[in-house]
Amino acid sequence: MPALTLQWPAETLWHSIEPTWPGFSVEVLPQLDSTNSTLMERARDGYLQPVLLVAEQQKAGRGRMGKQWLSTQPVGGSLTFSLGLPLEDCDLSGLSLVVGCSLAHSLDPQHRHELRLKWPNDLWYRQRKLGGILVEVCMLGRQRFVVVGVGINISEPPPLPEVDPALPAPMQPAWMQELDPAATAPSVLGQIAQPLALALHQFGQHGFAPWVSRFQVRDALAGQEVWLSDGTQGRAVGVSASGALQVRTEYGLRDVLSDEVSVRPLARG
């Protein structure tokens, strides 16, 4: 069977995003190790222009806290891209939550599918991970370049490998064609890229505070009992104006930072 040829809306996206981010460019490459790593390397070499980089296949993608994000599916089975932007002179707290809000609204504007956001960087559908977000920052002197990586499953992923029966079975990921059977990687990119670029521009001006209520509507952890990687247990009660997860513990309300702990729902008996 010949390889699938994807028709990407590169020119349309350039026309819609360039007025917001002058100097913006769009690149689509057949294969990369990691779109985030590529843009971070370019930034360290001095390339700080706004850019959208798409990889039809990604061989060594990275997620938060060193986790892998691999495009193991055929071309078009997943959407992997990074948006690199010169976001200077603003507080980056809550940035991954803004990205999640923008993606969820673009893909599910009427809340028909009840897409949820699992703090701080996962897009959930029916309690399963549909996509992930990785935010990285490169400083070059006083210049700051932010790279926002996004990975979304488009078609059904291959079955997960079997694990030891004594261990909890991993949850099979979700995929976009569950929501929309006609979804393709190019069509999903066309839905989300321009609103995301605009959301990041607004974030650069106003920070996370205007997005708090939008995140709360889709907060997958709100009201759930959770445990933190240091062993603390409590109930998630939302996020602060700076994007910290707020957990009510026996010792009081605790603000949890994204680089401080990992958070998972407690197993229910």
Per-residue pLDDT of the chain in tens (269 residues, 90 and over written 9)? 445 679 999 999 999 999 999 999 999 999 999 999 999 999 999 999 999 999 999 886 555 545 555 556 678 899 999 999 999 889 999 999 999 999 999 999 999 999 999 999 999 999 999 999 999 999 998 899 999 999 999 999 877 666 556 555 567 899 999 999 999 999 999 999 999 999 999 999 999 999 999 999 999 999 998 988 888 889 999 999 999 999 999 999 999 986 555 566 555 44
Q: What pLDDT, on a 0 to 100 scale, did the predictor assign at position 166?
A: 59
User: What pLDDT, on the 0 to 100 scale, is given for residue 159?
Assistant: 74
List 146's β-bridge partners, or say none. Answer: 85, 137
Domain annotation for the chain: domains and CATH numbers:
10-218 (3.30.930.10), 225-265 (2.30.30.100)
pLDDT, residue 170, reads: 65
Q: Which pLDDT belongs to residue 268?
A: 45
pLDDT computed for residue 133 by the predictor: 97
Give the C-alpha distances (Å, rounded to integers) separating 239 from 192, 198, 212, 261.
24, 23, 7, 15
Q: In what order do the strands lie in the sheet containing 122-125?
A: 25-29, 51-55, 78-85, 143-153, 128-140, 122-125, 116-118
C-alpha 179/C-alpha 107 separation (Å) is: 9
> What pLDDT is recorded for position 260?
54
| Max CA distance (Å), the chain | 60
Q: Which pLDDT score, from 0 to 100, does residue 4 have? A: 65
By C-alpha distance, which of 109, 124, 96, 132 is closest to 224? 124
* Rounded Cα–Cα distance for residues 264 and 69 (Å): 19
- Nearest-10 crossing angle of helices 185-206, 10-17: 20
Locate 178 and state its tokens: 């569950």
